Every structure is written in C-alpha cells, then in structure tokens.
Chain A
C-alpha cells in the first residue's frame, strides 16, 4: 500500500460543512441521476431519524442523515451527507484479494466490477460501513460511491458537489484543509473544534465540519492510523516466516535422519545381525 509518508495534498477532496447544509437532498437526487440508480421504496419514519432511505444501499450511494438534538432546551436539527470517505489509504483496497479497489491519483477510490470475486472482505474492512452488496441478484457485485471518477477525470466536479447549493466545496485536499481551518478559526462559536476526516483512518478525501460534537451526530469514532498498516504489520512477515519454518524444519529433520543413519551404520559395523535394508526401527 502507499506508505503513510505519501502526500495526498494534491488529491481532490470534499469539504462538507454541515452547519451550512439545509437538508435539501439535492446531492442525493443528483447522485441517483448521474449514476442511474433505481429509486427505493421508502417509508416515513423508517430509520433512526427522518431520513429516507433508512440506509445507504446498492441503490443509494449517498444519503442525507437527519439528526435531532436538544440545545438550550430547544429542539434542533442537524443534517449531514453520508458517502464513501475515499480514504487516503483505503482498507477496502488493501484487503481485496484481487485488487478490485484502487485509490486513483485524482482522489476517488474506484471499484473494478470485472475483477471482483464477491468475497465481501471490503465490507468487513471498511471502517465507515460503505461498500454495499447487490443482495437482490444471483451473482451480486459490490456497489458504492464512485467519487464520480468519470467526471473528475474530465476536470468536472462530482454530481453531488455540483448540485449542492450551500454546503459542499470541492478542491485539492490541501486547499480544503486550509479552508476548514480558516472557518474553525474565524467562527469558533459556530463550529465544534474538529475536522472529521483529517486524520480518521489515516486521512480521507471527505472532510466534515460540524456544530455538534461528532459522536452526538452519529459520526463513528475511527482510529487515526491508516488501516492497511494494521494487517500489513503481520503480513509483511510472511516470506520470513515461510523461510524460517521451512528452513528450521529442514534442519531439524536432516539432523534427526542423519543421527539415525549413523546409528544404523554403526550397528552394521559392529557386526549386528540385522541386514541393512530391512531393519526394524523402534
């Protein structure tokens, strides 16, 4: 995997300022349109909040989560857009046995459906619960937000970022981090002092600013270390272990077998009766 010293400043990133989100769900609709995703049957009050559909799925790559909370005895609302975080060092890409996931130089983490064997390890690995499966199909594949790679490649912005009237900025990760820092500094009373995605899972291409503490809004606490490094610290030992075990056992057996041959030859020299090739070992 790309080492943690790699520089992601030039990759493209989202800055999602949830304090500016109006909950219009323009991004949700734009995503469905651009990716030609089927509509889902929805019910009001089906999930934890007012959001529909209740969860991201094979048909829904992004969705606006609604969260109500109390502030000074008043009922308040917060919204945030949920999508693939396009991690700098994606867990999904590191565990996929056939390398179907790839972090592009532009930033989006893309998925090659032609390679996927359907083991669903990516779903286990993703700390944000993003990859979804086509449970409706006999030969299913994985589905998730593409980061609109086909658009970004051509110099366009992602469909959802284009559609958003207020909350989403899109640009290089360094710029977005700078902008987020500036907002935190200028309006400390408006923001909770953290940029979600700056260090989460070793850094992601989606950066969030919020008003509420992150956990109250339902952002998952995620380790700051890049996830592939957790498995790599074990996997990188593989060749060494293979050679050590193989070599060690070869030595042990060579030694033991030699001991025995010498013993047998000695027996023979001493004129022991047993004929050489049919000796009974005990």
Chain B
C-alpha cells in the first residue's frame, strides 16, 4: 500500500510544473464543490430567482457539450465517409469526448439542487422536456464513448477477447454516437425555445436547435485541429498538419451554411426588435464576425489551410466564437434590460476552472499511460467483416509496446 503510494508520489514528482499547476487547480475545484454542498447553492453562488441558471449551465453544460463534439464528428467523417487517413486523430478525439462528457455530468450534478435524485430522470419520463432528452442522450453517449475508450485500455493490458467484441461493435458505436449527438446537440438549443419572451430576438428563432447542431459540428472539427496542434507542440507527438488540412477544407463549407441559415433565421423568423439593445447587438456581431466570418475567409485561402500556425489561429477563432455564442444564448441574451447583472461568484468560478483543469490533466495522463497516439490504423482491418471470424485476432499486439512518451 505504502509502496504503491510512494510510487505514485514519485511519479507525480516527475511531472512537468504545468501538470502540477493543473493538479492544484483541480484540488481547488474539488474543495469549492465541497463547500457548495455543505453550505448550499444560495450561499455559495450568485444565483437567485431572477438568474436561476448561471455559469455552470452556461459553461459547464451548454458550452462544454459542443466543445466535446470532436469525437462524433470525426468518427462519422473517418468511419462512415471512409476518409481513412484521418484515423490517427480519432482516438485522441474519443478521449477528449469521453472526458468532456464525464465532466459535463459532474457540472450538471453540481448545479442540481437535489443531485442525489439525478436517477429520477431515468424513472420519471417526461418526453416533452428537452432537459429529459438531453440527460438521456448524455448518459447514453457517455456510455458509448466509454466503450470506445475501452479499446486503448484493453490494448494496454492485452485483453484480446473484449477487443474483438469492441472491434465488432465499432461501426454501430460510431453511428450511434453520431445520431445521439445530433439529438442532444440540437436539443440544447431547444432548451431556449421555451424562453419566448425572455431570450432576445437576436438569438431567439425556431431554428435555434438546427443552429446549435451545426455549430457543434464546426466546433468539433476546430477542437480536433486545436488539440492535434497542441499535442504536437507540447507532447512531442508527430506533426499532423497535413491531415488537418483535410479538416480545414471541410470547415468553410460548414461555416458558410451556418452563416446563411443563421442570418436567414435572424432576419426572417425572429419575432421581436433586433436593434433595440446596443450591447447585445455588439455581442451578436462579435460572435458572427470572430467566430464565423473571419475563420471562413481564412480557411478559404489555400496557403492558410496548409500553414500550421494559421490552422491553429482559425480554429481558435471558431472556438472563441462558439463560446461567446453559447453565453449569448444562455446568459447575456436572457438578461432583461432593467435587471441587475449576474456575474459568477468565486466558488462558481473555481469549480469551473477546476473542471477545465481536470480535463487537461486527465487528457495528458491518459495520453501518458495509454496507447492513444500509437494507434496504427494500417495494421487494422476496418471493413465490415463478412463473418465474425474474420475479425483480426491479434488486435492486442501493438498494445505491448505502449511505453509512451509524454
């Protein structure tokens, strides 16, 4: 026991200072959540009857879910449309997705007033509630991502039998992931359709669910670009910018369609005055220009698509725009003109920072101890087998040399 603890402590001592900082932030976050449970929501947050939803819903749920959309987007692109050269990016995306969704669940639990009753959603169904739909999907999808994540785990420990099953399940899982994601990504937009007289007309329109879904797709793609570039820079992984170029070719199309739908919906389908609140108008323009128009034009240029630095910048713009969009819909746009402004309390902020730090930390740790980058697609037969027997029996072979660099 103590020996094991000593090994763990020694291991941690060897970590980079950045990781130690992340561990400290996670610790702070855990402490803050403990305080929240002991003292209650009312004392520890700035929420009140006028702002029943704050930072935790706006960031930890509504923003984090599209940020974790890389797994389903890439899974569909690689496996369904069969663009196989992108295969090396799939596993990191799955790990990110799995971590993202697990942490979304943590965020949701913290925000619930009665977290011990979270299981009620599985027993008392209300199919008319978008919240019911989203919670079911998040549970289902976290399970799917967990199964997908099991592959590297089984490889690491050389479990052959489950690997066979997982390989066989791969296509159904990818397709399931894409369909479930389509549902809950769009239903996050449906949440706000009920706020008819509350959400400002710049964001309120009946196409909100469609817009949420489309923005999840381009965000998923951008997150993969960001992640691959970061991993190349800071974790010594190979430069994938040639692969990423394929993704940057898809991006302007998705962004363009989104822009058209968004502008059409805002001008034709919204129900109230659009230009009555200058600050909201500024936020709206910022979201569109920074997050959609600028990266769209960037990625239309070939030399930008091929340049690794520009790839990173474009992707960052898209992500920033998405974050702003989700806050606009769930927070800024919901504020009524004569109300006091909501801002998150220290406890709320610490928890959210802790959750972000946890994501980075766990990703680095998983990458350190499991074969998520050393996945060699060439050695794997991904076509749908005619018989179960044709599944490759030696799926675990490359798991053995999984001494990782990090």
Give me the interface of A with B, judged by CB distance under 8 Å. 1, 55, 57, 91, 94-100, 115-121, 123-125, 127, 129, 132-141, 220-223, 225, 227-228, 230-235, 238, 241-242, 245-246, 249-250, 252-254, 256-257, 260-261, 264, 277-278, 280-282
Q: Bound complex: CA of A249 vs CA of B172, how far in Å?
A: 10
By the criterion CB–CB under 8 Å, are B175 and A253 in contact? yes
Q: Which of A91, A249, A254 has most B Cβ within 10 Å?
A: A249
Q: In this complex, what residue of B is CB-closest to A125?
A: B194
The smallest beta-carbon distance between A241 and chain B, in angstroms, is 6
Q: Does B269 belong to the interface (CB within 8 Å)?
A: no
Report Cα–Cα, A95/B39, bound state, in Å.
28
| A97 pairs with B194, CB closer than 8 A | no
Known: A117-B118, A137-B42, A230-B196. A95 touches B129 (CB 8 A): yes
Contacting pair A277 B392 (CB below 8 A): yes
> Which of A116, A242, A246 is close to B114, meaning CB atoms less than 8 Å apart?
A116
In this complex, what residue of A is CB-closest to B119?
A117
With a CB–CB cut-off of 8 A, which chain B residues contact A220?
Answer: 197
* CB neighbours of A221 from chain B (8 A): 197
- Specify the chain A residue showing the minimal Cβ separation from B176: A246
What are 8 A-B pairs at a CB distance below 8 A?
A: A97-B129, A98-B126, A124-B198, A127-B197, A135-B41, A241-B182, A249-B175, A253-B175
B194's partner among A133, A136, A138, A231 (CB-CB below 8 A) is A231
Is the CB–CB distance between A141 and B196 below 8 Å? no
Q: Which residues of A contact B49 (CB under 8 A)?
A: 55, 57, 123, 129, 132-133, 135
Contact of B179 among A96, A133, A242, A260 (CB under 8 A): A242
CB within 8 Å for A257 and B38 given contacts A94-B129, A235-B130, A245-B179: no
Interface contact B131-A121, CB-CB below 8 Å = yes
Q: Is B270 an interface residue, CB under 8 A from the partner? A: no
Q: In the bound complex, how far is the Cα of B63 from the Cα of A179, in angstroms?
A: 50
CA–CA, A227 to B91, complex, Å? 42
Which residues of chain B are near A254, meaning CB under 8 Å? 384
B9 interfacial by beta-carbon distance below 8 Å? no
Q: Could you tell me the distance in whole angstroms from the C-beta of A29 to the nearest C-beta in chain B?
A: 22
Q: Shortest CB–CB separation between residue B357 and chain A, in angstroms?
A: 25
Task: Find the A residue at minimum CB distance from B48.
Answer: A135
**Interface residues contributed by chain B, number (CB under 8 Å):** 73
Q: Which B residues lie at the A interface, using CB under 8 A?
A: 37-42, 47-50, 52-53, 76, 79-82, 84-85, 111-118, 120-121, 123-133, 135, 171, 174-176, 178-180, 182-183, 186-187, 189-191, 193-198, 206, 208-209, 334, 377-379, 381-384, 392
* With A135-B48, A256-B80, A257-B82: A97-B179 Cβ-Cβ less than 8 Å: no
A55, A117, A228, A261, most chain B CB atoms within 10 A: A117
Partner of A246, one of B47, B118, B179, B383: B179
List the count of A-B residue pairs having beta carbons below 8 Å apart.
207
Is there contact, CB below 8 Å, between B41 and A140? yes
Distance from A171 Cβ to chain B, minimum over Cβ atoms (Å): 29
Whole-angstrom CA separation of A100 from B126 in the bound complex: 9
Q: Are A235 and B190 in contact (CB under 8 A)?
A: yes
Q: Are A231 and B120 in contact (CB under 8 A)?
A: no
Chain A residue, CB-CB nearest to B126: A99
Partner of B196, one of A57, A120, A227, A235: A227
Q: How far is the CB of B269 from chain A (nearest CB, A)?
A: 12
Complex partner residue of A227 from B50, B175, B194, CB under 8 angstroms: B194
Give the chain B neighbours of A245 by CB distance below 8 A: 178-179, 182
Q: Are A141 and B114 in contact (CB under 8 A)?
A: yes
- Shortest CB-to-CB span from A124 to chain B, Å, is 6
A235 and B128 contact, CB distance less than 8 A: yes
Beta-carbon contact of A257 and B383 below 8 Å: yes
6 A-B pairs closest in CB distance: A118-B113, A135-B42, A138-B40, A256-B82, A97-B132, A120-B52
CA of A174 to CA of B382, assembled, Å:
67
14 further interface pairs, Cβ-Cβ under 8 Å (given A117-B113, A238-B183, A257-B384): A97-B131, A98-B123, A117-B117, A121-B131, A137-B40, A139-B114, A230-B194, A230-B206, A231-B130, A234-B206, A245-B178, A253-B79, A253-B82, A281-B377
Q: Which among B178, B186, B196 is the interface contact of A249 at CB below 8 angstroms?
A: B178
CB distance from B196 to the nearest CB of A (A): 5
Which of A99, A139, A282 makes the CB contact (< 8 A) with B40? A139
Q: Which residue of A lies closest to B113 (CB)?
A: A118
Please give, as numbers and ranges, the residues of chain B lying within 8 Å of A96 by CB-CB distance. Answer: 126, 129, 131
Separation of A140 and B382 alpha carbons in the complex (Å): 51
* B187–A235 CB distance below 8 A: yes
B38 & A253 in contact (Cβ 8 Å cutoff): no
Q: Are A141 and B113 in contact (CB under 8 A)?
A: yes
| B172 nearest in chain A by CB position | A250
**Chain A residue with minimal CB distance to B384?**
A257
CB nearest neighbor in B for A220: B197
CB distance from A39 to the nearest CB of B (A): 18
Are the CB atoms of B80 and A119 closer together than 8 Å?
Answer: no
Does A231 contact B190, Cβ atoms closer than 8 Å? yes
B124 touches A94 (CB 8 A): no
Quick check: A139 and B113 within 8 Å, CB to CB? Answer: yes
**A252→B124 contact, CB < 8 A:** no
Distance (Å) between the CB of B144 and the closest chain A CB?
A: 13
What is the chain A residue whose CB lies nearest that of B206?
A: A233
Q: CB-CB < 8 A to A261: which residues of B?
A: 383-384
Q: How far is the CA of A242 from the CA of B209 in the complex (A)?
A: 14
CA distance A121 to B126 in the complex (A): 13
What's the least CB distance linking B272 to chain A, in Å?
Answer: 10
Cross-chain contact of B80 among A123, A137, A249 (Cβ < 8 A):
A249
Residues on B with beta carbons closer than 8 Å to the beta carbon of A256: 80-82
**Cα–Cα distance between A221 and B272 once the two chains are bound (Å):** 12
Bound complex: CA A252 to CA B79 (Å): 10
A122 CB → nearest B CB, Å:
9
B39 touches A138 (CB 8 A): yes
The smallest beta-carbon distance between B177 and chain A, in angstroms, is 10
Could you tell me if B179 and A95 are in contact, using CB atoms closer than 8 angstroms? no
- Determine how close the nearest CB of chain B comes to the CB of A144; give it in whole angstroms: 11
Q: A117-B112, A230-B194, A233-B206 are in contact. Are A124 and B128 (CB under 8 A)?
A: no
